[in-house]
């Protein structure tokens, strides 16, 4: 057994900087949440029944996640549309009120600083939701270009609000029951608002699991009440472990694993989310060039055929490769897990272009053991 458990699961003592706590922290601890440092926050990895039970709850009924650690920034003013157009890869002028757009925050050379969700919440009002772990890098990018924006008001609202994701086939009816039937009126990938016990909450019908559901933004003081109500309605508390499995099953990339400043949207197969036509878009030139260049490697999904679980950082070899000669590696695993829904090992990784074709056989070097895998279409799981 020994020390590697501590390293993978994460031990508080190893974390020198004190982690921030969300408004729901005490509830997680009381529910038996195993708290781990994540992106500068102390977050639940899992609760008492474990990751598999939490994944199954989301696939079969509904699960709730505290996603309050995710960065939330509001942009307001007559210059908001133009400013956002300059810093993110979304076609901001085309975004209608109440709609959302998945996009990238790319650096000037097209490397991915973060992936983000942009919501248009009003005529001159936008909400940008970013990854907790990239908050500082994102703010650095944004602030570098924000300095002379007199007609854009930017406000970080992360600490003023709690954000709860509810996901699963029963998620919409659950939120409906708490909002007088208002929730189900909001269509998928749209954002709206509703009354919950006397306060206005923001409902974004999106998520990170491949299931229907909402991300609910509520004033911090009302967060615990919403969490309890969702639990009483039968939703199961779920942590980061389940979230990671669910997003991978749904074929959704995780920044820090599958995306980084060393990768660009095109080799990640996500070029359709990289809009670079805005005349003032800073990485526009770089992304246009990258879009016209055939990438030498591509992000693929693969399923294990042999016995083994792929893990981040493992080398990928061509079919029939002889035991691990690292110089002959044709790729690297960027995410991997055991999938309870697929009942087997699944992963994503970058491979040389010629190995990226669906059904290509690969060998994953599982700590010295070469285990057979096959490139498959993502998602690994699709909700019905």
Q: Name the site residues for other proteins (rule: CB under 8 A).
A: 1-2, 4-5, 8-9, 45-46, 50-52, 241, 244-245, 307-309, 311, 337-338, 340, 345, 367, 369
If the CB atoms of residues 4 and 272 are measured against other proteins, the closer one turns out to be 4
Distance in Å, CB of 44 to other proteins, minimum: 12
Output 111 or 308, the one with its CB closest to other proteins.
Answer: 308
Taking the least distance from each CB to other proteins, the nearer of 187 and 369 is 369
**Rounded least distance, CB 47 to other proteins, Å:** 11
Cβ of residue 249: shortest distance to other proteins, in angstroms? 12
> 10 Å Cβ neighbour count for 162?
25
Q: Tell me the closest approach of the beta carbon of residue 131 to other proteins, in angstroms.
A: 19
* Cα distances (Å, whole numbers) of residue 312 to 8, 247, 335, 336: 11, 15, 5, 6
Distance, CA of 158 to CA of 143 (rounded, Å): 17
CB-nearer residue toward other proteins: 45 or 351: 45
Least separation in angstroms between CB 295 and other proteins: 30
Give φ, ψ of 184 to 5 degrees. -70, -10
Q: Of 6 and 108, which CB lies nearer to other proteins in the complex structure?
A: 6
Comparing CB distances to other proteins, the nearer of 12 and 369 is 369
Cis peptide before 306 (omega within 30 of 0): no
Cross-strand partners of 301: 348, 376
Nearer to other proteins, 288 or 303 (CB): 303
Q: What's the min distance (Å) between Cβ of 119 and other proteins?
A: 31
Length of the chain in terms of residues written? 384
Following CA atoms 313, 319, 322, 324 in sequence, which dihedral angle do they give, to the nearest 10 degrees?
A: 0
| Antiparallel, parallel or unpaired: β 112-122 and 125-130 | antiparallel
- 171-178 and 223-232 helices cross at what angle (nearest 10)? 120
Beginning with the edge strand found earlier in the chain, give each strand of the sheet holding 153-156 in spatial order. Answer: 100-106, 112-122, 125-130, 71-76, 153-156
Q: State the Cα–Cα distance between residues 344 and 301, nearest whole angstrom.
A: 13
- Min CB(244)–other proteins separation in Å: 8
Distance between CA atoms of residues 103 and 149, nearest Å = 22
**Min separation Cβ 256 and other proteins, Å:** 15
Q: Do residues 130 and 116 lie in contact, with contact meaning Cβ atoms separated by under 8 Å?
A: yes
Please give the Cα distance from 293 to 109 (Å, whole number): 14
Task: Give the CA distances from residue 207 to residues 6, 85, 199, 241, 384, in Å, rounded to whole numbers and listed in that order.
Answer: 30, 24, 22, 15, 16
Query: Which of 7/199 has CB closer to other proteins?
Result: 7
């Amino acid at each position: 057994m020994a020390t590697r458990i501590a390293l993978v699961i994460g031990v508080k003592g190893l974390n020198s900087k004190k982690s921030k706590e969300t408004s729901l922290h005490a509830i997680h601890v009381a529910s038996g949440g195993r708290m781990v440092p994540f992106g500068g926050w102390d977050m639940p990895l899992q609760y008492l029944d474990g990751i598999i039970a939490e994944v199954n709850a989301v696939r079969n009924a509904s699960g709730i996640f505290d996603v309050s650690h995710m960065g939330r920034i509001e942009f307001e003013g007559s210059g908001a549309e133009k400013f956002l157009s300059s810093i993110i890869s979304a076609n901001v002028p085309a975004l209608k009120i109440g709609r959302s757009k998945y996009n990238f925050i790319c650096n000037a050379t097209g490397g991915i600083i973060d992936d983000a969700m942009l919501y248009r919440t009003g005529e001159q009002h936008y909400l940008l939701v970013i990854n907790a772990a990239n908050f500082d890098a994102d703010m650095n990018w944004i602030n570098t270009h924000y300095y002379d924006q007199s007609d854009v008001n930017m406000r970080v609202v992360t600490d003023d609000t709690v954000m709860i994701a509810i996901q699963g086939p029963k998620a919409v009816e659950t939120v409906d029951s708490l909002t007088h039937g208002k929730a189900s009126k909001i269509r998928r990938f749209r954002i709206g608002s509703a009354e919950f016990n006397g306060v206005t909450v923001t409902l974004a019908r999106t998520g990170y699991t491949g299931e229907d559901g909402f991300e609910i933004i509520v004033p911090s003081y009302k967060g615990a009440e919403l969490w309890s109500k969702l639990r009483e309605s039968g939703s199961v508390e779920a942590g980061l472990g389940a979230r990671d499995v669910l997003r991978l099953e749904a074929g959704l990339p995780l920044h820090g694993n599958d995306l980084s400043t060393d990768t660009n949207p095109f080799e990640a197969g996500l070029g359709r989310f990289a809009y670079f036509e805005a005349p003032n878009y800073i990485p526009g030139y770089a992304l246009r060039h990258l879009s016209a260049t055939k990438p030498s490697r591509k992000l693929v999904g693969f399923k294990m055929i042999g016995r083994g679980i792929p893990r981040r950082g493992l080398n990928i070899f061509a079919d029939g490769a002889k035991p691990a000669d690292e110089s002959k590696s044709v790729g690297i695993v960027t995410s991997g897990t055991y999938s309870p829904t697929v009942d087997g090992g699944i992963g994503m990784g970058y491979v040389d272009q010629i190995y990226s074709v669906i059904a290509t056989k690969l060998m994953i070097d599982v700590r010295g053991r070469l285990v057979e895998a096959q490139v498959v279409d993502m998602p690994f799981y699709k909700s019905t």
